[in-house]
Homo-oligomer: A and B are copies of this chain.
Amino acid sequence: MKSMKAVVFKGKDRLSVEDVPKPRPRAGEAVIRITTTTICGTDVHIVRGEYPVKPGLILGHEPVGVIEELGDGLADLYSVGERVIVGAITPCGQCFYCLNGSHSQCGGALGGWKFGNTINGAWAEYLLVPDAKANLAPIPRGLSDEEVVLCPDIFSTGLSGAESGHIKVGDSVAVFAQGPIGLCATLGATLKGASLIIGIDSMSSRLEVARRFGATVTLNTRDGDPVAEIKRLTQGRGVDVAIEALGRQETFENALRAIRPGGTLSSLGVYSGKLVAPYQALYAGLGDQTIVTTLCPGGKERMRRLMAMIEHRRVDLSPLITHHFTLDDIESAFDLFSHQRDGVLKVALHPGAPLKTRAETMAGVRVDQEC
């Protein structure tokens, strides 16, 4: 087979399922057959024309699959037929940025994010993986596609919000917005040992999931100013760490106001326009505060570590997968996800027939009524 089916970005608001050439690996590269992938909020930004991507590119950056073909130099490390995932971010490990520890900025600003951004992505039957030695992560025996499909981006990103915030055991943490990334940030706060974990959103259904993911308190922004309530819950001081998981001026500013002197604002959101920090919230620059932004960490070791958390039953992300679709149904899947209909959190996309895992699934049918 020389061609494959793929979802091609045709310009603002236009996706097309097309036949395109199947990729072949050069030295150090691999091709994997995609079995499951998903749609990310960033993909919505791209399709809506809010983040610039060149028309003609295959989108998608969350690949689960099977090794189809290996380029030179990889035979000792991997086997054709092995099940693997690959991070949304694929660092080379060898450039200025990678060797300085900024793997996600591989090769330059945001450069680690290649799939569906600067090279063809995972919404296809096959995917070419660059720097395969650094990026192919075998799936532990016994884990389903559905259990690991959120590792490449959502889990890695959400957790990194907690990590970059340097949450210490016993810290108080507020997470602003409880979409999939915010939920994984909430989960990350539990994994880093936070005590008081405050989940904030405007949708009560998401706050319900937040409590399952570890929030010890939830605040609905429709009920009033969350910052005032956070101050009340922390003897007037504010939290040790606030995580911003939406990408808006309002949540950024609230997160800044929510931290105590000496506290940290860990930002995961994608911003457009300028960000404004009132000097009072900054204590005029004298508050010993830290603001840190983080792009999703990738690379095979990050993926191995995240899957190890699932393998050893420390976390279970499957409640986040609420719907299944085939790749042909991308338009329906995208429509559902981008409009956040039907309680959707994340959808699983299958280039072939959807896998029958955990439960009988049907394309577009919600699989977990409780979530």
Binding site for B on A (CB under 8 A): 27-28, 72-73, 92-102, 104-105, 108-110, 113, 131, 133-134, 159, 162-163, 168-172, 188, 190-197, 216, 237, 240, 247, 260-262, 267-279, 282-295, 299-302, 304-306, 308-309, 311-314
Question: Which residue from chain B places its CB closest to the CB of A77 in the assembled complex?
Answer: B95
Given known contacts A27-B27, A170-B309, A94 and B285 CB-to-CB distance under 8 angstroms? no
User: Is there contact, CB below 8 Å, between A108 and B301?
Assistant: no
Question: Which residue from chain B places its CB closest to the CB of A42 in the assembled complex?
Answer: B286
Q: Cβ of A311: which chain B residues have Cβ within 8 Å of it? A: 195
Partner of A262, one of B102, B275, B277: B102
User: Is there contact, CB below 8 Å, between B273 and A279?
Assistant: yes
Given known contacts A102-B261, A102-B262, A196-B308, A272 and B284 CB-to-CB distance under 8 angstroms? yes
User: Is there contact, CB below 8 Å, between B247 and A270?
Assistant: no
Q: Cβ of A290: which chain B residues have Cβ within 8 Å of it? A: 290-293
Partner of A73, one of B27, B247, B261: B27
> Min CB distance, A162 to chain B, in Å?
8
Q: In the A-B complex, list the 4 residue pairs whose CB atoms are closest, starting with the nearest.
A: A170-B305, A102-B262, A93-B93, A195-B308
> Min CB distance, A74 to chain B, in Å?
11
A313 CA / B313 CA spacing, docked (Å): 19
Question: Which residue from chain B places its CB closest to the CB of A188 in the assembled complex?
Answer: B169
Given known contacts A133-B94, A134-B99, A309-B170, A105 and B279 CB-to-CB distance under 8 angstroms? no
Q: Does more than half of chain A's interface fall in helix, strand or loop, or is it mixed?
A: loop
> Min CB distance, A179 to chain B, in Å?
15
Given known contacts A192-B192, A272-B279, A308-B196, A300 and B99 CB-to-CB distance under 8 angstroms? yes
User: Is there contact, CB below 8 Å, between B285 and A279?
Assistant: no
A95 CA / B237 CA spacing, docked (Å): 13
User: Is there contact, CB below 8 Å, between A192 and B193?
Assistant: yes
> Min CB distance, A3 to chain B, in Å?
27
User: Is there contact, CB below 8 Å, between A108 and B275?
Assistant: no
A190 CA / B73 CA spacing, docked (Å): 38
Question: Which residue from chain B places its CB closest to the CB of A296 in the assembled complex?
Answer: B286
User: Is there contact, CB below 8 Å, between B272 and A110?
Assistant: no
> Min CB distance, A84 to chain B, in Å?
15
Q: Cβ of A277: which chain B residues have Cβ within 8 Å of it? A: 274-277
Question: Which residue from chain B places its CB closest to the CB of A313 in the assembled complex?
Answer: B216
Given known contacts A93-B93, A290-B290, A301-B96, A283 and B170 CB-to-CB distance under 8 angstroms? no
A98 CA / B148 CA spacing, docked (Å): 23
Question: Which residue from chain B places its CB closest to the CB of A102 in the assembled complex?
Answer: B262
User: Is there contact, CB below 8 Å, between B276 and A276?
Assistant: yes
A285 CA / B295 CA spacing, docked (Å): 8
The 17 listed contacts between A and B (C-beta, < 8 Å) are: A27-B27, A28-B28, A93-B94, A94-B131, A94-B134, A102-B262, A104-B286, A159-B169, A170-B309, A193-B309, A247-B285, A271-B282, A272-B279, A274-B279, A275-B277, A275-B279, A287-B295
Q: Cβ of A267: which chain B residues have Cβ within 8 Å of it? A: 285
Question: Which residue from chain B places its CB closest to the CB of A95 in the assembled complex?
Answer: B133
Question: Which residue from chain B places its CB closest to the CB of A131 in the assembled complex?
Answer: B94
Q: Cβ of A97: which chain B residues have Cβ within 8 Å of it? A: 261-262
> Min CB distance, A218 to chain B, in Å?
13
User: Is there contact, CB below 8 Å, between A293 and B299?
Assistant: no
